[in-house]
Structure 1
Amino acid sequence: MSNKKPISRKRLDWIDQSKGLAILGIIIFHFFQNYPDRIDLVNILDRNGAKWGYAAVDIFFVIAGFNTSYTLAASIKSGKITSLKINWIEWLRKRIIRLYPNYWLAIILSIILLTVWGTINIKSFQDLIFMGIGVPGYQRFKTLNPGFWFFSVILQAYLITPIIFLICKGKAKNILLLGIVIGTIWKIVCITNTGDPYFFIFLLQSNLITSYIFPLCLGLYWGFIYCDYQKFRRIDWEVSIAAFSIGLVMYGFLVLSQIDFEYMIGFDMLFTPLFLLLFYWVCETYINPKLTFKDFNLFSLMGVYSYQIYLIHQPLLFVALPILGGKIALNSYPRVLLAIIAIAILITLYVFVFIQLDNFLGKLMGKITKKSA
């Protein structure tokens, strides 16, 4: 890595804002996916929102990789660590401490929510144990909260990151190449298993880190690059635009040919780089300077707590939307608008309570692990 520019140690606002935009897009998609009145507008937004939802999830994995390598590269440049001799055990310990309390709290609150207002579909105590461990998101574990797949896959991402660095010897280009190769091979594996629709979807998305290995490695690569230049380079834009253009041509051909296909079959690899750069551009050009008021930015705040929001928002939608659909006595479109406002308020209150409990559990978990260390 070069030493062209000094490293800025302040928090990168565009990272939080990008996550805030991504989680907002996912919530909107899930809202229309679960809204009970299947009017034309809802159907259109549900059907097309799925693609935005997939793209937003990819952004989370790019950023997870980016944060990891950017922090490590900055520490190397500042002399805090030498080469890439990192204490990976300690690195994993900190992330597990951050992940599990949120996840367990989400399980508890999901059970309470569905016990009071919905139906719990946990079939056995064994299923509950597996869910608590965070095994890949088999369908029977998703019945409580479909969002739990994200915990499982992000946990896998953290567990394999040290292995990626070991295999690639900490070289940014090798990491990117590894992501491209494994990502491509995995798409081929998925395509060859289309005979069983459930197994095909299981392999393709929301269960194994192999489905998101490319965005993770892309983020690891770009973390090193951004640490060197404190911006994305012209070549990053050029290659990303070229890949997107290829994907767009292929995408258009399949649509015009009326060939059924899944977004995750390759298009995520071609589109994700440019999507991340566009998120960066929007945040740096419009959100950060124009939508920040006295150091407060809603998208930044949503980004900081995006992991928590992802884990808990879906059960609330399962419970609240059917109730709202029956209570709001208005015409279809005003009812949708009022339901959006009501859900926004409920999610805000729910997340606030969750965060308070989460902060308490996080501190408690930290004290326990320090004593046992």
Structure 2
Amino acid sequence: MTNQIQAPPNRFNWIDRTKGLAILGILIFHFFQNYPERINIVSVLDRNLAKLGYAAVDIFFLMAGFNVSYALISKLRKDGIDKIKVNWKSWLSKRLIRLYPAYLLAFVLSCLLYFFFGNFPRKSLLNFILSFLGLAGMKFQAVNPGFWFFTVILEAYIFTPILFYICQNKFPNILIFGSAIALFTKIVSFSFLLANNFFFYIFFLQTNFLGSYLFQFCLGLYWGWVYAEHKAFRKIDFIVATIIFTIGFILYAILGITKVNIVYMLGFDMLFTPFFFLMIQKLLSRLDKIDKIQRVLGFLSILGIYSYQIYLIHQPLYFVLLPKLKQSIQVNSSLKIVVSLMIVSVALTIYVILFTKLEKIVMKLIGNVMSKQN
């Protein structure tokens, strides 16, 4: 497996490791979220790790935008092109080809998991079709609630050419536009909360459409351009992110002291994500110089490289495996959590290895078919 993950010379280790940290946070959060025995420690960890999970998802959307603009600007500069001229049809088709095979494979294998090892989820035919197409979000998802991520990232890539057109290919404009739309989305969501319309409150809050994560994606587009132009983040990026984080932290503390219910996605994601991302990048860049922890960093790199695949397949495995472990492991509750976590980790590792191998076969077949058509 080590030979398969050798990064090319122009690949940034900190990018893979940032995604590795993010997917690790999500894996741990979802484990306790789906753990079937709701003892006190599980409930506490679920409630507190939820914030870690939300922040990790924000990082993923930021990284998605970052990778798009960094690759775009780097290629243009390499070709000696100053103005942004992109064949957006070709750009989008390449991303759809990259996204859909793994998603459809995860969809089919998730259905098989439920069929052979658990209760197959029953919803309407429309829900099932929308889920198969990757258009269900979470509200209309029939197979795996985690597939909402695919729906929103798909919306982000489809919207990207429109975003560049609206903002006249200027990255500062993209950041301003994304911030404005995201803030508007928060206000709309909050208004539905005040009106006790919880369906639309949750719908606009997260996990269903791009508006909830447009700031993170646009910030990533902006910083990818910055990094491509300057080969590093600027001092002003750290200063502004720190100021915004400080304001958010003070507000968060005041709300906590006054015992106001804090909803992370109602604006704190916008205040905290820039600082979190820059601090993670800075920390990982420094840790990269320490020889003693290279194996740990290498493990994070592997997680990051396969983070998309891991995200797609881990929850159905939790749904199937955790209830069975609860019934079969006869030890005290605390030890059962540890044993379950170890077993699930091993099972997920094997599942990811098999899944990625199968995905490579599918991608090779698709490549052969496309080459014959051309």
Give the TM-score range, shorter chain: over 0.9
**1:256: Cα distance to partner?**
1.6
| Structure 2 residue 263 is matched with structure 1 residue 262 | yes
User: How has the CA–CA distance of structure 1 residues 192 and 83 changed in structure 2, closer, same or farther, with 3 Å as cutoff?
Assistant: same
Residue in structure 2 matched with residue 93 of structure 1 by the alignment = 93
Structure 1 partner of 2:29: 29
- Size of the aligned set, in residue pairs, is 364
User: Which residue of structure 1 aligns with residue 120 of structure 2?
Assistant: 120
Q: How do 1:156-305 residues align onto structure 2 when only pairs under 5 Å count?
A: 156-194=155-193, 195-286=196-287, 289-290=290-291, 291-293=293-295, 297-305=298-306
Over 3 Å counting, the alpha-carbon distance change for 1:136 and 1:125 in structure 2 is: closer
Between 1:47-56 and 1:178-187, the stretch displaced more is 178-187
Residues 126 and 36 from structure 1, CA distance in 2 versus in 1: closer, same or farther, beyond 3 angstroms?
closer
Q: Evaluate the alpha carbon distance shift between residue 15 and residue 46 of structure 1 in structure 2; reply closer, same or farther with a 3 A threshold.
A: same
Cα 1:296–1:59 change in 2 (3 A) is closer
CA change 1:64–1:285 in 2 (3 A) is same
Residue by residue over 1:130-153, the C-alpha shift from the partner in whole angstroms, topping out at 9 and shown as x without a partner, is 212111414241x42111101100
Which residue does the alignment assign to 2:348? 347
Tell me how far apart the structure 2 counterparts of residues 359 and 289 of structure 1 sit (CA, whole Å). Answer: 34
Query: Superposed, which structure 2 residues align to 1:117-156 within 5 Å?
Result: 117-141=117-141, 143-156=142-155
1:250-293 Cα shifts (integer Å, max 9, x gaps): 11122222222311000000000011112212221225744324
**Corresponding position of 2:329:** 328
Is the CA contact (8 Å cut-off) linking 2:88 and 2:161 kept in structure 1?
A: yes
CA distance in 2, matches of 1:172, 1:108: 39
Identity percentage of aligned residues: 46
8 Å CA contact retained: 2:146, 2:315: yes
In 2 relative to 1, CA 180–252 (structure 1 residues): closer, same or farther, beyond 3 Å? Answer: same
* Aligned 8 A contact 1:97 1:366 in 2: no
Q: Once the 2 structures are TM-superposed, how far is the Cα of residue 329 of structure 1 from its aligned partner?
A: 1.7
Q: Structure 2: how far apart are the matches of 1:25 and 1:227?
A: 28
5+ unaligned residues in a row in structure 1: which ranges? Answer: 1-7
Q: Whole-Å Cα distance in 2 between the matches of residues 111 and 297 of structure 1?
A: 32
Quick check: 1:317 aligned with 2:318? yes
Preserved contact between residue 110 and residue 313 of structure 2 (Cα < 8 Å) = yes
CA RMSD of aligned residues (A): 1.8
Q: Is the 8 A contact 2:138 2:207 kept in 1?
A: no
CA contact (8 A) 2:130 2:140 kept: no
Q: Find the aligned partners of 1:355 and 1:161 in 2 and give their Cα distance.
A: 28
Look up the equivalent residue of 1:178 and give its one-letter code: F
Higher relative contact order (CA 8 A, sep 6+): 1
User: How big is the shift at 1:372?
Assistant: 4.2
| Aligned position for 1:5 | none
| Equivalent residue, structure 2, for 1:4 | none
**Which 10-residue stretch deviates more, 16-25 or 333-342?**
333-342
- Seen in structure 2, the aligned counterparts of structure 1 residues 33 and 180 have a Cα distance that, compared at 3 Å, is same
Kindly state the Cα deviation for residue 348 of structure 1 after the two structures are TM-superposed. 0.3
Offset from partner CA, 1:76-126 (integer Å, 9 cap, x none): 211265521111111111110011111111111111111112111233433
TM-score (norm 1): 0.93
Q: CA 1:288–1:182 in structure 2 vs 1: closer, same or farther (change >3 Å)?
A: farther
Name the TM-score, length of structure 2 as normaliser.
0.93
Aligned-partner residue type, residue 135 of structure 1? L
Q: Secondary structure at the match of 1:147?
A: helix
